Amino acid sequence: MDKFIIFLILIVIVAFLLVVVVMVQNPKGGGLSSTFGGGGSQQLGGVKKTTDFLDKSTWALATLLLILILLSNVAIDKGSVNTDSRVLDDNTTTPVQNVIPDTQQQTPATQTDTTGN
């Protein structure tokens, strides 16, 4: 599997987790921590404060997402495209061709009036 595809899958997973963590939080201090009593020193699975866990996980997921995006740029296959300018190459002498088609029909040359009129 291509490295970029792996980074892309990881970015989608981390972005989904980040959305879930942000949606669980309540902007007014409620959220998941208020569901379990909202105590300041309560423990939930060994975590002292649920809000601190949600804050830290939000920052960690956002940082991980940014790092994955930056690393995915390195993994993009750029191919073997030559970016050198042809103008700087002395050996390249390609004639310039007219790429605009001539739309005017050529008419035969008008004959001059030899009768004197």
* pLDDT given for residue 54 in this prediction: 85
Evaluate whether residue 35 is within a structural domain: no
Evaluate whether residue 71 is within a structural domain: yes
Evaluate whether residue 58 is within a structural domain: yes
Rank 3-7, 39-43, 50-54, 112-116 by mean pLDDT and report only the highest: 3-7
Evaluate whether residue 67 is within a structural domain: yes
Q: Where does the pLDDT of residue 48 fall: very low under 50, low under 70, confident under 90, or very high at 90 and above? A: low
* pLDDT given for residue 2 in this prediction: 87
* pLDDT given for residue 47 in this prediction: 44
* pLDDT given for residue 50 in this prediction: 75
Evaluate whether residue 15 is within a structural domain: yes
Evaluate whether residue 117 is within a structural domain: no
Report in angstroms the alpha-carbon separations of 15 from 12, 19, 36, 57, 58.
5, 6, 26, 12, 11
Write out the two tokens for 30. Answer: 């409620």
Evaluate whether residue 12 is within a structural domain: yes
Evaluate whether residue 81 is within a structural domain: no
Total of domains in the chain:
1
Q: What is the reported pTM?
A: 0.52
Mean of pLDDT values over 60-80: 88
* pLDDT given for residue 58 in this prediction: 92
Q: Which residue has the higher pLDDT, 69 or 78?
A: 69
Mean of pLDDT values over 19-26: 86
Domain of 68?
A: 3-27+42-75
